[in-house]
Amino acid sequence: MVFIRLEDYESVEIAPGARVRTPYGAKLMPSHLELDEGCLVPEHSHPHEQARMLLDGILEPTIGEETRICESGEMFIIPGGVTHSARPLGGPAVVLDASVRCGRTMRSCSTSTFRRPGNGQPELRVEPVDTDVRGDGIGARLR
């Protein structure tokens, strides 16, 4: 069994005001996502399915064409390949995300493309670096 201390993992800003820490094991990839008030995790998709639990705050996720308001303790599942986005409401939010790693490296299932419609900026691609940052056989950084 492996015990994880989030402070041992690098926090990476994936969008302005959105930071993630993503340790991973042989097959499971949990992520701890902190969202500042007023931030937006832009519309994006990736091939793997995700399960999310809102640990703190109020969150407005959009999954495909459906938007809901979720409160602390609620969970939702994002099917693989479905476009989704999220923003906290009325303050910051903290989300626990879990997905299954695909294959030997994370690259095949974890690359996310954030679309930036209408602002003239190119798409932002977030790809995990398959690096053991702690030297213990688990761990991840994004670039």
pLDDT tens digits, residue range 57-72? 999 999 999 999 999 9
pLDDT-based confidence at 102, cuts 50/70/90? low
Q: What is the mean pLDDT of residues 33-49?
A: 93
* Cα 123 to Cα 10, 66, 83, 119, 142, distances in angstroms: 23, 23, 14, 10, 16
Work out the pLDDT band at 52, boundaries 50, 70, 90: very high
Neighbours of 105 (CB within 10 A): 12
- Whether this prediction's pTM lies above 0.85 is answered by no
Task: Kindly indicate the confidence band of residue 121, based on its pLDDT and cuts at 50, 70 and 90.
Answer: very low
Mean pLDDT of the chain: 78
- Nearest 5 degrees, angle CA 112-CA 87-CA 23? 45
- Helix segments in the chain, DSSP class H: 107-110
- Please choose, from the candidates 114, 124, 103, 119, the residue with its C-alpha nearest in 3D space to the C-alpha of residue 48: 103
Q: What pLDDT, on the 0 to 100 scale, is given for residue 136? A: 41
Give residue 28's pLDDT.
Answer: 86
Is residue 101 pLDDT above 50, yes or no? yes
Looking at per-residue pLDDT, the higher value among 4 and 116 belongs to 4
